[in-house]
Amino acid sequence: MDMLLERKPLIRWKLRELMARKRVSIRKLAELTGMHRNSINHLRDFDVLPQVGAETLEKLCRALQCTPSDLIEYIPEPEEEQI
């Protein structure tokens, strides 16, 4: 089996968690960012980092009053942790 298929994602997307913690609905986040509700819904459903441009990331950070590190988490592989 291919090793790339077995490994877990190293970068996790946490928009769903952040929206829940701040109690922000898709509709409200769409209003705050000026983005379409379908776009917010699509981004919320990712568990791994989607291809997000700087402008979109900035809009999300402004609306949620957070930093990119609140939305993105790096998870090192076990052998990387020992270095």
Cβ atoms of 76 and 9 within 8 Å: the answer is no
Instruction: State the average pLDDT over residues 59-81.
Output: 88
> Two tokens at 47?
């568990």
Per-residue pLDDT, averaged over 29-46, amounts to 96
* Superfamily of chain region 3-81: lambda repressor-like DNA-binding domains (1.10.260.40)
Following CA atoms 20, 69, 81, 10 in sequence, which dihedral angle do they give, to the nearest 10 degrees?
70
The CB density around residue 52, as the number of other CB atoms within 10 Å, is 18
pLDDT at 1: 45
Is the pLDDT at 3 greater than 90? The verdict is no
The residue-averaged pLDDT of 28-48 equals 96
- Cβ atoms < 10 Å from Cβ of 21: 12
Residue 76 pLDDT: 83
Mean pLDDT to the nearest integer, 35-56: 94
Q: Give the residue extent of every domain in the chain.
A: 3-81
What's the whole-model pTM score?
0.79
